[in-house]
Amino acid sequence: MKTRIVEIEEEHIDQETIREAGEIIRSGGLVAFPTETVYGLGGDALNPASSRKIYEAKGRPSDNPLIVHIAKWEALSAIVKNIPEEAVRLAQVYWPGPLTMILEKSDLVPAETTGGLNTVAVRMPSHKTALAFIEAAGGYVAAPSANRSGRPSPTLARYVSQDLAGRIEMIIDGGDVELGLESTIVDLTAGTPVILRPGYITRVMLESTLGRVEEDVTILCDDSGQAPKAPGMKYRHYAPKGELTIISGPQQAVTDYINAQLDRYRTENKKTGVIASEATVSAYRADVCKNGGSRQDESALARRLYRILREFDDEDVEIIYAESFEGAGVGQAVMNRLLKAAGHRVTELK
Ligand code: AMP
Ligand code: MG
């Protein structure tokens, strides 16, 4: 299959191209498209054959459910059994935006789209091209991130193309994404709302709208005995090809430790990389040093992380060390993804 790549500027949306993209979805094909979080791989959410194609194109296990993207609030009622009060309040504040809600699904949504679950994940993105595309596609676009399974989520159309060219009909290139991390997922089907995946919309933000909100225990720890409630979280994700280890502790100890390891690997002719904050990155003796941005701005690394991981792959880096990036806000989501990329390999220094 030849994949058509089209550029669309968010501020000057070409309606004819959007119509063609929508037509591909309506006739059962797949289109990758930009959102404010990461690029999505879209298919018709109400067509079981389309969802099967998404799993196949991604190489994704079919028990890992897809997020259904809608473009207007009125679209929600057809795909869920009921709309709880919490969903109304969250939508008023955070939709369109990087928040996915888990709700009871209606019979309209095929089991293929929800990985066999009775619940459905729904999000209304804020990206204007995404909204126009979803409307043109019939209003319900199932879309996981547009990467091959196990690869970092794509933040540029170039990365979608690396992973999926030849496997899908079209890629809409909308340039760099705004946020760079996948949406926050909150489950509204089990009494107290539960965060299944952290993201830009933090627990504090959700609690200011809803009152008490819980967090799935598997978000930051590697408790292999516990099954995460978002099935996708159980798979090794976002993994670079090189071996990534996070080093935490007092800054000087971290820098000294990492440099000692780098020197050792150099004698073994291994290509090395480091992810560090703006303030410390120049202190490292790695072959490839990546600036994760200022520690004062937790969203800086969020925007860059997946790109950095892919660049390590492109440069065939074999051994990677990362400073630890904890934070109260989106920093928690960044750390969640970094820990997954590292397979929870962390060394804590005193
Ligand atoms: P992706 O869009 O690639 O980030 O993947 C979608 C994520 O949403 C996966 O981690 C899924 O496990 C999660 N998800 C989708 N639908 C549900 C659902 N009904 N219940 C729980 N998690 C879900
Ligand atoms: Mg994904």
Q: Is the CB of 103 under 6 A from ligand 1?
A: no
Calculate mean pLDDT across residues 10-30.
97
Of the chain, the percentage scoring pLDDT greater than 70 comes to 94
Instruction: Delimit the CATH 3.90.870.10 region(s) of the chain.
Output: 4-215
Tens of pLDDT along 168-224?
999 999 999 999 999 999 999 989 999 999 999 999 999 999 999 999 876 655 554
329 C-beta closer than 6 A to ligand 1: no
- CA-nearest residue, atom 13 of ligand 1: 230
Mean pLDDT value across residues 268-288: 97
Contact 185, 164 (CB under 8 A): no
Task: Enter the DSSP assignment of 296.
Answer: T
The residues facing 28 across adjacent strands are none
pLDDT tens digit sequence for 152-175: 899 999 999 999 999 999 999 999
Q: Which amino acid is at 330?
A: V
**Which of 39, 101, 104, 197 to mutate for ligand 1's pocket (most ligand atoms within 8 Å of CB)?**
197
Whole-number pLDDT of residue 224: 46
- Flag the least confident range among 40-54, 139-153, 230-244, 253-267: 230-244
Given the CA of residue 183, which atom of ligand 1 is nearest to it? Answer: 4
Q: Which of 66, 80, 106, 336 to mutate to test the pocket of ligand 1 (most atoms within 8 A of CB)?
A: 66
Cis status, amide bond into 96, omega within 30 of 0: yes
pLDDT band at 229 (very low <50, low <70, confident <90, very high): low
Q: How far is CA 58 from the centre of its chain?
A: 14
Q: Give the ligand with the smallest distance to the CA of 68.
A: 1
Each residue of 138-157: pLDDT tens digit?
999 999 999 998 888 999 99
36: pLDDT strictly greater than 80: yes
Residue nearest to atom 11 of ligand 1 (CA): 232
Cα–Cα dist 342/323, whole Å: 12
Q: Which ligand is nearest to the CA of 186?
A: 1
CB 236 within 8 A of CB 252: no
| Class of residue 314 by CB neighbours under 10 A (exposed 0-12, middle 13-18, buried 19+) | exposed
Whether pLDDT at 341 is above 60: yes
**Ligand 1 pocket, 196 CB below 6 A?**
yes
Q: Is the CB of residue 154 below 6 angstroms from any atom belonging to ligand 1?
A: no
- 156 C-beta closer than 6 A to ligand 1: no
Starting at the edge strand found earlier in the chain, the sheet holding 40-44 runs 4-7, 170-173, 31-33, 40-44, 141-142, 67-69, 119-123, 99-104, 184-187, 194-197, 214-215
Best residue among 60, 63, 67 to mutate for probing ligand 1, ranked by most atoms within 8 Å of CB:
67
Pick the CATH number of 243-348 from 1.10.30.50, 3.20.20.450, 3.40.50.11030, 3.20.20.70: 3.40.50.11030
CA distance linking residue 217 with residue 227, whole number of Å: 10
Query: Which residues of the chain are in CATH 3.40.50.11030 domains?
Result: 243-348
Q: Which residues pair with 31 in a beta bridge?
A: 42, 170
Residue found under tokens 């991130």: 145
Q: Are 58 and 147 in contact (CB under 8 A)?
A: yes
Determine the pLDDT at residue 149.
87
Topology given in CATH for the domain delimited by 4-215 = DHBP synthase (3.90.870)
**Helices in the chain by DSSP H: which ranges?**
15-26, 48-58, 76-79, 85-94, 128-136, 157-164, 203-210, 251-267, 298-314, 330-341
Q: Is the pLDDT of residue 234 over 80?
A: no
Nearest listed ligand to the Cα of residue 154:
2
CA 320 to ligand 1 center in whole angstroms: 28
